[in-house]
């Protein structure tokens, strides 16, 4: 499959994501977000989770909070 074919098939989803401010490279943070949810379910404090995962994913804690907020935003 060529890039343009994949984009054409996924066009409605891609356009909705673009409007919501999602970038294609945000996909690399999906596993981090899943771990965040799992750690949160285990009743760990968000501050602790932010420090641990931002160190593991080599990002700043402020960026971690930005990513979590973006992942939790609603796409219309």
Residue 31's pLDDT is what? Answer: 96
* pLDDT average, residue stretch 7-26: 91
24-60 per-position pLDDT tens digit: 889 999 999 999 999 999 999 999 999 999 999 999 9
Q: How many whole angstroms separate alpha carbon 52 and alpha carbon 73?
A: 23
- Say which residues have a Cβ less than 8 Å from residue 52's Cβ, sequence separation at least 6: 39
pTM of this prediction?
Answer: 0.82
Residue 53's pLDDT is what? Answer: 97
- Confidence check: pLDDT of 75 > 90: no
Burial of 68 (0-12, 13-18, 19+ CB in 10 A): buried
């Amino acid at each position: 499959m060529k890039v343009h074919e994949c984009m054409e098939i996924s066009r409605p989803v891609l356009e909705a994501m673009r409007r919501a401010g999602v970038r294609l490279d945000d996909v690399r943070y999906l596993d981090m977000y899943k771990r965040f949810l799992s750690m949160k379910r285990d009743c760990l404090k968000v501050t602790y989770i932010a420090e641990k995962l931002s160190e593991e994913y080599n990002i700043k804690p402020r960026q971690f909070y930005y990513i979590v907020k973006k992942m939790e935003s609603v796409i219309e």
